Amino acid sequence: MPSSQSCFWTKVFLLYEEKSYGRKEIGMRHNLEKIRDEAIENISKVKDLEHLERLRLKYLGKKGELTRILRGMGDLPAEERPIMGRLANEVRTLIQVQLDKRRKELEEKLLEYRLREETIDVTVPGKKIERGNLHPLTSVCNEIAAIFIGMGFEVVEGPDVELEYYNFEALNIPESHPSRDVQDTFYITDEILLRTHTSPVQVRTMEEKDPPIKIIVPGRVYRSDDVDATHSPIFHQIEGLVVDENITMADLKGVLDVFVKELFGERTQTKFRPHYFPFTEPSMEVDATCVTCGGKGCRVCSDTGWIEILGAGMVHPNVLKYGGIDPDRYSGFAFGLGLDRIANLKYGIDDIRLLYENDIRFLRQF
Ligand code: DAH
């Protein structure tokens, strides 16, 4: 219907109404219709659920416009109240229907949007989870352990915080012995210290186990050294101990020769130089042909063609005795190697500090 016509009919209707009802009723009827029209228009325009809820409260809420009008019903003549009441109910129902309709539409739209935006594309490559890698010290330790395990050795461990007794005394290093000077360490009390080497686990193991003993002991050791490219107050060793009947230096040489060849390559040669350790007799240092130059001489081996790999020797009878083992029946050999030095040689690392700084750029390379 064209709007001019609608205006016309509205007027006719109003005139008719004015005759039938009093002014108050007309005013109330007007207000109700105004609310109805405004509500329908606003509801149709609303774009989201939150806004829609606000409209619901505005029109139908306890403090809403419809309630406000209904409160005015008391002023109407008694016979008009049911008529107005019915009209108000109709308006309420109509608004409610519109609200429900719009809510459904908006919910559907939201669902559609979500389904569109939140779909998972299973063909998109996943996020790569970065894998770390073992620290070079751990890798070399594992590699060395595997070689000895292959020769029948067992891996055991001992405490970092050690008794002075096991660290020195039981290794044939009495209190007055000068070799305590070169192994100064961190003392917790006079009797308790941070171990300076893995050798104390020799006696600890002998106390617990009867021969045959065939162990390696990887672990952290401590010395009161100043930090530089070749020194760190914390470093790592692997100790070895074999005790049985008829163990001779031939066994020592055979085992260590196999070890060095497995670790650095078949062509690597070994050299056993006489040396002194309080806990072995005889004692020696073991050299291998330089890993870097193959024996020709270079900066790494100070042009000698050899690099020192470890200390070793036949277990001193006193040490066997400290371990509760009869030196007349049993003999053994022992060795101790510096893990950090071997890792550095293997990977061409020229500064021990790099192993402890935890710089990810360094560690990623292994
Ligand atoms: N404990 C010695 C050190 O820290 C290394 C060593 C040398 C261990 C000879 C041994 C050995 O078992 O037989 O310098």
Q: What is the CATH number of the domain that holds 337?
A: 3.30.930.10
Which of 275, 277, 315 best tests ligand 1's pocket when mutated (most atoms within 8 Å of CB)? 277
10 Å Cβ neighbour count for 305? Answer: 17
pLDDT band of residue 9 (cuts 50, 70, 90) is low
3-9 mean pLDDT: 54
Helices (H), the chain: 3-20, 23-45, 49-60, 65-71, 81-117, 136-150, 164-167, 200-208, 249-264, 317-322, 339-347, 360-363
Q: What's the confidence (pLDDT) of residue 313?
A: 98
Quick check: 13 pLDDT over 80?
A: no
Same domain for 322 and 268? yes
The band of 3, judged by pLDDT with boundaries at 50, 70 and 90, is very low
C-alpha 72/C-alpha 160 separation (Å) is 90
Indicate whether 232 pLDDT > 50.
Answer: yes
How far apart CA 109 and CA 107 sit, in angstroms, is: 5
How far does the centroid of ligand 1 lie from the alpha carbon of residue 338, in Å? 9
Taking the centre of ligand 1 as the mean of its atom positions, its distance from the CA of residue 138, in whole angstroms, is: 21
Does residue 312 have its Cβ closer than 6 Å to ligand 1?
A: yes
- Please indicate whether residue 280, judged by its CB atom, sits closer than 6 Å to ligand 1: yes
315 burial (CB, 10 Å; 0-12 / 13-18 / 19+) is buried
The CA 16 to ligand 1 mean position distance, Å, reads: 119
Task: Mention every residue, 6+ apart, whose C-beta is less than 8 A from residue 299.
Answer: 292
Both 153 and 72 in one domain: the answer is no
Q: Is 336 in the pocket of ligand 1 (CB under 6 A)?
A: yes
Render pLDDT for 133-164 as a digit per residue (tens, 0 to 9): 999 999 999 999 999 999 999 999 999 999 99
Q: Whose CA is nearest to atom 8 of ligand 1?
A: 336
| pLDDT tens readout for residues 189-198 | 999 999 999 9
Domain count of the chain? 2
Which residue is listed with tokens 């050690």? 162
Domain range enclosing 221: 136-363
Spatial separation of the C-alpha atoms in residues 318 and 220, rounded to whole Å: 25
Same domain (yes/no): 98, 169: no
Percent residues over pLDDT 70 in the chain: 93
Question: Is the residue at 124 inside a domain?
Answer: no
At which of 117, 152, 183 does a domain end? 117
Would you place residue 180 in the very low, low, confident or very high pLDDT band (cuts 50, 70, 90)? confident
Q: Is the pTM of this model over 0.75?
A: no
Lowest mean pLDDT among 55-69, 252-266, 339-353: 55-69
CA of 221 to the centre of ligand 1 (A): 12
Q: What is the DSSP letter of 329?
A: T
Q: Is pLDDT of 4 > 60?
A: no
Same domain, 213 and 290: yes
Please name the residues in contact with 53: beta carbons below 8 A apart, sequence gap of 6 or more. Answer: none
Please work out whether the CB of residue 236 comes within 6 Å of at least one atom of ligand 1: no
| Residue 86 clears pLDDT 50, i.e. is over it | yes
Domain membership of residue 43 (yes or no) is yes
- Assess whether the C-beta atom of 313 lies below 6 angstroms from ligand 1: yes
pLDDT band at 66 (very low <50, low <70, confident <90, very high): confident
Q: What is the pLDDT of residues 301-360, one digit of tens each?
A: 999 999 999 999 999 999 999 999 999 999 999 999 999 999 999 999 999 999 999 999
Query: Are residues 170 and 306 located together in one domain of the fold?
Result: yes
